[in-house]
Amino acid sequence: MSYIRPVFRHPDLPRNALGFTRKDYEGAISTLCAGCGHDSISAAIVQACFELALPPHKVAKLSGIGCSSKTPTYFLGNSHGFNSVHGRMPSVATGANLANRELIYIGVSGDGDTASIGMGQFTHVVRRNLNMMYVVENNGCYGLTKGQDSATADIGSASKKGEPNHFEPIDLASVALQLGATFVARSFSGDRAQLVPLIKAAISHRGFAFIDVISPCVTFNNNPKSTKGYEHVREHLAATGTVDFVPFKEEISTEYEQGESKEVALHDGSVVHLHKADPELDITSRRSALRLIKDYKAKDQILTGLLYMDENSQDLHEILGTSKTPLRDLAAAELCPGQKVLDKLNESWR
Amino acid sequence: MKRIEAVNDFVIKFANVNGTGSASANNMFAKAVFRMGLPVSPKNIFPSNIQGLPTWYEVRVSEKGYLGRRGGVDMMVGMNPQSMAKDIKEIDSGGYFFYDSSKPLDLRMMRSDVHFIGVPLKDLCQREFSDPRQQQLFRNVIYVGALAALLDIEFDVLRGLVSDQFRGKEKLITPNVRALELGYHYASEHYSCPLGIRLERRDAVGEQILIDGNTAAGLGAIYGGATVAAWYPITPSTSVVDGFDKYCKRLRIDPGSGNKNYAIVQAEDELAAIGMVIGASWNGARAFTATSGPGISLMSEFLGLAYFAEIPTVLIDVQRAGPSTGMPTRTQQSDILACAYASHGDTKHVLLFPATPRECFEMTAQAFDLAESLQTPVIMLTDLDLGMNDTMSPPLVWDDTREYQRGKVFNEEQLEAMSERFGRYLDIDDDGIPYRTYPGTHPSKGAFFTRGTSRDEYAVYTEDGDAYEKNMQRLLKKWDTAKQRVPAPELIKAGKGSKIGVIHFGTSRCATLEAIDSLQAEGVAIDTLRLRGFPFNKTVDAFIEEHETVFLVEQNRDAQMRTLLVNECLISPRQFIPILNYNGTPITAKYIREEILLVVRGDNVRPLRKQRSVKESV
């Protein structure tokens, strides 16, 4: 982390379509440990929101409790934020989204917050296909309470304390796939080139977009015996391919590499291009994604990149059939039926 | 043999097996009494089970309008062999036992001081109907027909009820009316009708309605402008959201698009239900949840967050008998302390105590105004008795000129005009209530971070002790503001400078007022105070101060309201004589009367009062 951030910014900083600079998407200075993977993820979120030219106040950021859940303070300072209770961000995000379907919802959680105390709420927010991006900053340990193993720690992986983990890890990406998540990706906090377009695609996706980001804990879980340390992750990384996110109306200017590529159009006209590294992957098939995660794991590799997306999914509002106007904006006249109706109802109870 | 003689003033109890379709027949009976212009109070006493266990339906008819449980049974309709021996024992001497005489009664159960009235329901049914399901269902309808003859219920009233009930399913009307006639004719031919207890048409209900409190609360949420309901099924609160759902389908669908101007989510548990309510309220919608005791325990952590982060939250607690799973289908008022101080740390919450369906309706709507204007959780504490039983109530009313009080919220224009920095927790108006903003209001002003951790007035995280204390003090100031805004207590003075006072709340109201009435008739003047909200205001302190003897009627074991009064009004627990009922059935007027008399008769014997209160405090 850095304690000082320069006040002066170059007057010719690039501006996005709304005229904002990257600075307009930054938050308070991080209080996490120097080198924490989470700070790289915050920076990627800032970059993605800047590039998407989102109006900052039209984003709501929510989190639970833990190191990861502190991070919404460190990005999008002009957005409302909600640091809720441990493991319960999904329900708060659900309520918030029900109240106003027009905002963009970014949820940030950790492996403790999601895979242990919040496992119940996580599984149900996936099932409901809530329109939000849900990022798990996954470091395999409880940082804020000084390094206990979390439920995503691999068998045999040892944190700074040195005791290897004996319990089967929960693979959140696989869980999300099995429960019907409509956008699933995995990434690494140290791979910004991959993470930024994934975040952009996840935000643009209508429905529940899940990104499991391996994010090393430099203080408690970055030792040689840990499978969530920088060294191990870098050495065992494999990617589904490179991802380009092309917003609607923006001319496609990316140079494609040779090889197989797949295009998926999102509901708003944006396009996701996946340049496949593994021809086995079919990102429109859950089975394919689940199999590949297992295959790579068997080879002791961590498969990252876009794993699955269903661009035609219906989000919670569409399933419920709620008003197109945000519920919170409905006027009293639309909500309160008045005394005349009550007179009739009273008659039915006589 | 003695025979109970009474016109329009008796208690009839139906003993049934649950899952046999008796509920709708019993409802028809109660509603027939009501449509004859007579105050009626039916109470369902049912098991936590779907089929096969004993269930009772106790109907009190009272021309004088007493709607609480009276105590005692004048007539028992014994349809359940399982509970029959006990049911027969329960009848008051000179009372009546109605039974299915298709099979002979066990002679050991006979009582010489009770009138036995047998009607061969099963035989009549089998002769008339061929379908086995109908044979079961119509047995219930036949006994209603027989009771019509025995108690002088106008047959046309029953006919009208059947056609109302089956509107749209006309072919069901004829067999139902036929079943009523079968019972009616059999009873008229075999017994001298009416019996000693009977009904006569009166005009004693006026414009009142018969409705359960939960339906009224669900409708109150619609009128109160709720758009988001999140809940987890739990008896006895489920019908609050059912009611909201039912009437939303009629009143909240946009006619043009067919879209819903509301959202209901059945959550994965109570934790998620309250979390959704908090998220929606934070984002500017009116949202609520309904639950019962176990749900309150689960929601406690989130209630603390809503209190500390100052997020409006509306919660309806339909209380049942605890602790733990307790008696899930029996009534109690035992969540008072759990709700008042829900969550860790220094927390306290605004409570509302409705006593009638109309109050369930009004207070639910009011809860949204209070929660938003105070920016804090508001819990309406009703109970199974009020929530699930049809209760006679003044009609529901809504003032069409009323506007929702959305509280202190800065909009885009106000933020735009603001030159100073927005401070989410600044006490600008000196009432402890700060200003908030909804997410998405202004491009560069008014955003803040909501958190359960301590923060300064600008919502910036801090662990500074002074800033923390200042904030906690402001929350207390807000609490003082709340005292003036919650519904005032209802004070009824006997008008003779009485030194005896009775404090009561919620569903103890009817039984308490009836007991006071009967004591008044005997020259014992008693003032009453009905608590309707928490925090308590000065009226409560003054009432306790003005009376030498203060009874406190509650439906829990530990006199929880006494604890709350003692704690909040700084009063000695010895000031109160608790009258406690917690067996799971609603408190009776008879019991309250006897408990008061025990003390009042020996009023000059001071030690008695002390003795009793000491005993109760243990």
Q: In whole angstroms, how far apart are CA B596 and each of A174, B332, B350, B549?
A: 66, 21, 30, 10
- The shortest CB-CB distance from B451 to any of A83, A95, A334 is to A83
pLDDT range class, residue B75, cuts 50, 70, 90: very high
Question: Cβ(B164)–Cβ(B201) under 8 Å?
Answer: no
Q: Is the pLDDT of residue B74 over 90?
A: yes
| Residue B331 DSSP SS3 | coil
Which of A103, A330, A334 shows the shortest C-beta gap to B440?
A: A103
pLDDT of res. A249: 57
Longest dimension (CA), chain A: 77
- Coil, strand or helix: which one is B21? coil
Both structure tokens of B213 = 């409190």
Whole-number Å distance between alpha carbons of A34 and A38: 10
Could you tell me the domains of chain B?
A: 6-198 (3.40.920.10), 211-393 (3.40.50.970), 412-485 (no CATH), 490-617 (3.40.50.920)
B42 cis-preceded (ω within 30 degrees of 0): no
Contact B184, B145 (CB under 8 A): yes
DSSP three-state, residue B380: strand
Is B377 a residue whose pLDDT tops 50? yes
What is the helix, strand, coil percentage profile of chain B, to 5?
40, 20, 35
Chain B residues whose beta carbon lies within 8 Å of the beta carbon of residue A120: 268-269, 271-272
The model's pLDDT over B527-567, given as tens digits with 9 standing for 90+, comes to 999 999 999 999 999 999 999 999 999 999 999 999 999 99
Q: Is the pLDDT of residue B612 over 60?
A: no
Report CB contact under 8 Å: A338, B400: yes
CA dist., res. B217 & res. B241, Å (int): 9
Residue B344: partners with Cβ closer than 8 Å, 6 or more residues away: B300, B301, B304
Q: Supply the DSSP string of A78-143, one letter for each residue.
A: TSEEEE-STT-HHHHHHHHHHH-TTSEEEEEEEHHHHHTTTHHHHHHHHHTT-SEEEEEEE-SEET
Query: Looking at residue B614, what is its pLDDT?
Result: 39
Dist. CA B370–CA A116, nearest whole Å:
36
Task: Determine the Cα angle at B294 with ends B291 and B298, to 5°.
Answer: 90
The C-alpha of B99 sits at a distance from chain A's nearest C-alpha, in angstroms, of: 30
Cβ–Cβ below 8 Å for B228 and A337? no
A92 contacts on B by Cβ (under 8 Å) = 275-276, 278-279, 282
**Crossing angle for the helix pair A119-127 and A89-99, nearest 10 degrees?**
30
Nearest by Cα to B343 from B449, B452, B436: B452
Q: Give the pLDDT mean for B606-613.
A: 44
| C-alpha torsion angle, residues A25, A30, A36, A37 (rounded to 10) | -20
- The encoded tokens of residue A346 equal 């009273």
* A100 touches B284 (CB < 8 A): yes
- Cβ–Cβ gap B279/A334 under 8 Å: no
Cβ-proximal residues to B351 (8 Å cutoff; 6+ apart), any chain: B336, B339, B340, B378, B379, B380, B381, B486, B533, B534
CA gap B134, B186 in Å, rounded: 19
Mutant choice from A21, A322, A347 vs B, greatest count of B C-beta within 10 A: A322
B contacts of A20 (beta carbons < 8 Å)? none
Reduced to 3 states (helix: H, G, I; strand: E, B; else coil), residue B78 is strand
Q: Which amino acid is at B130?
A: S
In this complex, do B452 and A128 lie within 8 Å of one another by their Cβ atoms?
no
Query: Which two tokens mark B426?
Result: 């600044």
- B330, B331, B332, B333 alpha-carbon torsion, rounded to 10°: 150
CA distance B240 to B229: 10
**Closest CA relative to residue A86, chosen from A106, A69, A119, A64:** A64
Q: Where are the domains of chain A?
A: 22-332
Written as one letter, the residue type at B380 is M
The whole-angstrom separation of Cα B157 and Cα B36 is 8
Average pLDDT over residues B169-180: 94
CB contact under 8 A, B263 and A322: yes
Q: Which two tokens stand for residue A318?
A: 């569409």
Q: What are phi and psi of B556, to 5 degrees?
A: -160, 170
CA distance B327 to B585: 10
With contacts defined as CB-CB under 8 Å, which chain B residues touch A337? 222-223, 251
Instruction: Please count the other Cβ atoms lying within 10 Å of the Cβ belonging to residue A273.
Output: 19
How far is B152 from B63, CA to CA, in rounded Å? 15
Give contacts of A72 with chain B, Cβ < 8 Å.
Answer: 449
Looking at chain B, the number of H-run helices and the number of E-run strands are 20, 23
User: Which chain A residue lies closest to B437 (C-alpha atoms)?
Assistant: A80
Chain A hits for B273, CB-CB cut-off 8 Å, are 91
Beta bridge partners of B42: B59
Burial A128-141 (b: 16+ CB within 10 A, else e): bbbbbbbbbbbbbb
d(CA B479, nearest CA chain A) in Å: 23
CA distances, B55 to each of A180, B43, B85, B87 (Å): 43, 11, 14, 11
A63, B249 contact by CB (below 8 A): no
- Cβ–Cβ below 8 Å for B449 and A73: yes
Lookup result for tokens 């919404």: A72
No. of helices (H) and no. of strands (E), chain A:
12, 13
d(CA B408, CA B490) in angstroms, rounded, equals 29
Spell out which residues of chain B touch residue A93, defining contact as CB-CB under 8 Å: 279
Distance from the A279 Cα atom to the nearest Cα atom in chain B, whole angstroms? 39
Express the helix, strand and coil content of chain A in percent, nearest 5 each.
Answer: 35, 20, 45
Contact between B394 and B358 (Cβ < 8 Å): yes
CA–CA distance, B10 with B197 (Å, rounded to integer): 7
Residue A109 and residue A63: Cα distance in Å, rounded?
6
User: Residue B225: its chain A contacts at CB < 8 A?
Assistant: 332, 335-336
pLDDT at B323 over 90: yes
Comparing CB atoms, the residue among B225, B265, B439 nearest residue A94 is B265
Chain A residues lying within 8 Å of B301, measured CB to CB: 85
Cβ of A322 within 8 Å of Cβ of B210? The answer is: no
- Between the CA atoms of B341, B344, B346 and B350, what dihedral angle is there, to the nearest 10 degrees? -30
Could B437 and A98 be called an inter-chain contact, meaning their C-beta atoms sit closer than 8 Å?
A: no
Q: Given this model, what pLDDT does residue B575 score?
A: 87
Return the SS3 of B342: coil
**DSSP assignment, residue B532?**
-
Question: Cβ of A96 and B282 within 8 Å?
Answer: yes
Nearest to A78 among B271, B280, B447 (CB): B447
Token couple for B184: 């009616």
Strands A183-188 and B197-198: what pairing? unpaired
Interface contact A103-B283, CB threshold 8 A: yes
Residues in chain B closer than 8 A to A324 (CB atoms) = 257, 259
Beta carbons of A332 and B283 less than 8 Å apart: no
Identify the closest residue of chain B to A324 by CA–CA distance.
B259
pLDDT for A81-102, tens place per residue?
Answer: 999 999 999 999 999 999 999 9
Domain A22-332: top CATH class = alpha beta
- 10 Å CB burial of residue A166 (0-12, 13-18, 19+) is exposed
User: Chain A: nearest CA to B290, how far in angstroms?
Assistant: 15
Which residues lie below 8 Å from residue B136, measured CB to CB, with a gap of 6+?
Answer: B20, B21
Instruction: Name every chain A residue with its beta carbon within 8 A of the beta carbon of B247.
Output: 345
Contact A188, A239 (CB under 8 A): no
Looking at the partner chain, which of B34, B265, B440 has a beta carbon nearest the beta carbon of A58? B440
CA-based end-to-end distance of chain B? 46
Helix (H) or strand (E) holding A115: helix A111-115
Give the dihedral sign, CA A213/A219/A220/A221: positive
Residue A346 is nearest to which of B263, B273, B395, comparing CB atoms? Answer: B395
Residue A339 tokens, joined: 């005394």
pLDDT of residue B613: 44
Place of tokens 């047995």: B139
Average pLDDT, chain B: 95
Tell me the C-alpha distance between B74 and B9, whole Å. 10
Rounded-to-integer distance, Cα B130 and Cα B153, Å: 28
Residues in chain A with CB shorter than 8 Å from the CB of B207 are 346
The rounded Cα B39 to chain-centroid distance in angstroms is 18
Closest CA to B44 of B54, B55, B36: B55
Structural contact between residues A307 and A295, judged by C-beta atoms closer than 8 angstroms: no
Helix (H, G, I), strand (E, B) or coil at B490: strand
**B101 phi and psi, to 5 degrees?**
-90, 15
Tell me the pairing of strands B40-45 and B54-62: antiparallel
Cβ contacts from A onto B, under 8 A: 225
Q: Which residues of chain A fall below pLDDT 50?
A: 1, 251-256, 258
Q: Are B440 and A80 within 8 A, CB to CB?
A: yes
What was the pLDDT predicted at B3? Answer: 95
Distance CA B238, CA A24 (A): 47
Give the mutation candidate from B281, B403, B451 for the A interface (greatest A CB count, under 10 A): B451
